Amino acid sequence: MDPLPHPSGARPPDIPADLVPVHVALVMDGNGRWAKARGLPRTEGHKQGEFSLFDIVDGCLELGVKCLSVYAFSTENWKRSPDEVRFLMGFNRNVLRRRRDELNARGVRMRWSGRRPRLWRSVISELETAERMTRHNTKMTLNMCVNYGGRAEIVDAAAALARDVRDGRVNADRITEAVFARYLDEPDLPDVDLFVRSSGEQRTSNFLPWQSVYAEMVFLDTLFPDFDRRHLWHACEVYASRDRRYGGAVPNPVPETT
């Protein structure tokens, strides 16, 4: 099943395939402010954000982005009001149930990053069902980060690695970055190339810090319910224009002396 075209008829930009980011991380920010500006409860912003997310998935498929990680619910979001937390838990569960057949038909593989403790069993069940259903798909990967926190992921990885060192399965003197990375939530996903945040805020907010160490950052002012694939494409154009050196540098030309 091909991705749905954008209602405006917009087509993806002509970015060379080798300059399209492989892995995009997306912080979907601004739902509450969007709703407040319209005199609506915060939950209405989250509902509208669903359409933005799935338009962006179609935009990734059109452009050739292979992996999209989205910040659906953070470990810090438990601090919100009980009513909003309950809504978000049920909303994430229902979106997974409602959209998984559509994503499967498009060839999207679904993954989950995040902690199990505190997360509703029904949400875990839907995440695991979506993972099983789509495990053979290869068009792109949608990594749903639910009850996710970057520091929590690193702490959990360190604890698991420490247990393996204690039990003799890993030699502490041979731990490298590559060894440590195998203990992260989704170790087979590539590092993040492009980190995008909507709403104008310019923070990473504890999202994929290990994976984003060399990501290009693009912060856009648009609130997430007004965000769609055209904003993603713009961020990818910005990414394609940047010079990524990974700590290396080309020597400056020095004029010859006579």
Side-chain half-sphere exposure of 125, counting CA atoms within 13 A: 6
Distance CA(207)–CA(74), nearest Å, equals: 8
29 included as an active-site residue: yes
Q: Is the dihedral of CA 216, 181, 115, 154 positive or negative?
A: negative
Catalytic residue among 55, 77, 206, 228: 77
Distance CA(56)–CA(233), nearest Å, equals: 9
Side-chain half-sphere exposure of 122, counting CA atoms within 13 A: 10
Enumerate the H helices of 74-120 as residue ranges: 82-105
Catalytic residue among 2, 18, 29, 143: 29
2 included as an active-site residue: no
Distance CA(20)–CA(14), nearest Å, equals: 10
The residue count of the chain comes to 258
* Residues recognised as catalytic: 29, 77
